[in-house]
Amino acid sequence: MNRKLSSGRLFAALATIVLTAVACGSTSAPAASKGTITIAGFAFSEGTVLADLYGEALAHDGFTVNYKLQLGNREVVSTAIKSGQVDLYIGYAATDLEFYNKGAGEASGDAAANVQKLNSHLSSLGLVALTPSTAIDQNAFAVTKDTASKYNLVKLSDLAAVGGQLVLGGPPECPTRPFCQPGLSRVYGITFKSFKALDAGDPLTFAALANGSIQVGLVFSSDARIAPAKLVVLQDDKQLEQADDVVPILRSAVASDEAKTVLNEVSAKLTTADLVQMNSQVENLHQDADAVTMAWLQSHNFGM
């Protein structure tokens, strides 16, 4: 593309943006809404996919849905839902359980049991977790192929002997989360040389693994960027990670039977493979999350 054409197009694009911003008012609201639900998305890429997926299903059913995407991590989102600034977010059974029970270690490999226990902690907060999906996204720990072969790493327990030479990277909250650094220490006895605060399995983590400023990075098991980045996920041979099935968590005040039915229907049809596939379209191909999730809903008979 030559420079002249490019700057002409830039100007055209900017002019369109500015004119539209000046000209257009607020968008019109749909008639006869069944109620308004504000859904929060976590500030990692799958957070947007899941928020769009469940949000579009609710919107299709006649709810007015507002989105607060990329809102923050669980610490931020839980603050928002407890104060009623958002009504719904899509969480993960085991991680949310250990978050609300302050790391009491109740989580197990049984997602239904996790959600049941989770609800015992949520009810006093005016929140409720619905039936979990079978789609799972767990914390996982990845190393580069070079690191794996250099230290003979296949499973997490292999890290115990060499952890002192390696730097762990993850989101800033990793050192305080039971399924992150403390869990690696408690279950596997791994002590790392140091911890580097990055992001929740997003570009900073991938970049840090690639340039060697960390050797072990927290990623998500359903992340579609792991394979193209030539990373190896270490096996969780002592089951540190528990059943982290996708589960909608909402304020009881908005948990009408109809809303619950719609959300449960999405959870029931969603599989881990679907989630990885959608993540791949968004993360690797930069397709729009809302379009990708809409296509999934259409192909799963949500009649759109």
Site for other proteins in 158-187 (CB under 8 A): 171-173, 175-176
Nearest CB to other proteins, comparing residues 141 and 192: 192
Number of residues binding to other proteins, judged by CB under 8 A: 55
Return the residues of window 220-259 that contact other proteins according to CB under 8 A: 225, 228-229
- Select the residue interacting with other proteins from 253, 273, 291, 304 (CB under 8 A): 291
Q: Which of 124, 152, 211, 301 binds other proteins (CB under 8 A)?
A: 211
CA–CA distance from 208 to each of 73, 138, 196, 282 (Å)? Answer: 20, 21, 9, 21
Rounded Cα distance, 202 and 207, in Å: 9
Residue number with CB closer to other proteins (109 or 203): 203
User: In one letter, which amino acid is 88?
Assistant: L
In terms of Cα–Cα distance, which of 222, 227, 263 is closest to 245? 222
Strand order in the sheet with 216-220: 194-197, 167-170, 216-220, 139-144, 231-233
CA atoms of 200 and 88, how far apart (whole Å): 20
Which of 10, 104, 273, 304 binds other proteins (CB under 8 A)? It is 10
Q: Tally DSSP H helices, then E strands, for the chain.
A: 12, 10
Q: Which is nearer to other proteins, 115 or 282 (CB)?
A: 282
Is 71 a residue that touches other proteins (CB under 8 A)?
Answer: yes
Rounded to an integer, what distance in angstroms lies between the CA atom of residue 198 and that of residue 168?
10
| Stretch touching other proteins by CB under 8 A, among 28-36, 139-147, 240-248, 284-292 | 284-292
Nearer residue to other proteins within complex by CB, 17 or 112? 17
Does the protein bind other proteins through residue 152 (CB under 8 A)? no
C-alpha pair distances (Å), 72 with each of 40, 168, 204, 213: 9, 22, 16, 25
285 binds other proteins (CB under 8 A): yes
Does position 287 interact with other proteins (CB under 8 A)? The reply is yes
* Cβ–Cβ under 8 Å, residues 55 and 267: no
In angstroms, the CA 158 to CA 2 distance is 53
Question: Is residue 87 close enough to count as binding other proteins by CB under 8 A?
Answer: no
Q: What track of x and - describes contact with other proteins for positions 13 through 32 (by CB under 8 A)?
A: xx-xxx-xx--x--------
Residue of 230, 235, 200 whose CA lies nearest to 46: 200
Rounded CA separation 265/54 (Å): 10
Query: Least distance to other proteins from the beta carbon of 195, Å?
Result: 8
List of residues contacting other proteins (CB under 8 A): 9-10, 13-14, 16-18, 20-21, 24, 43-45, 68, 70-73, 75-76, 79-80, 83, 85, 171-173, 175-176, 194, 196-199, 202-204, 206-208, 210-211, 213, 225, 228-229, 281-288, 291
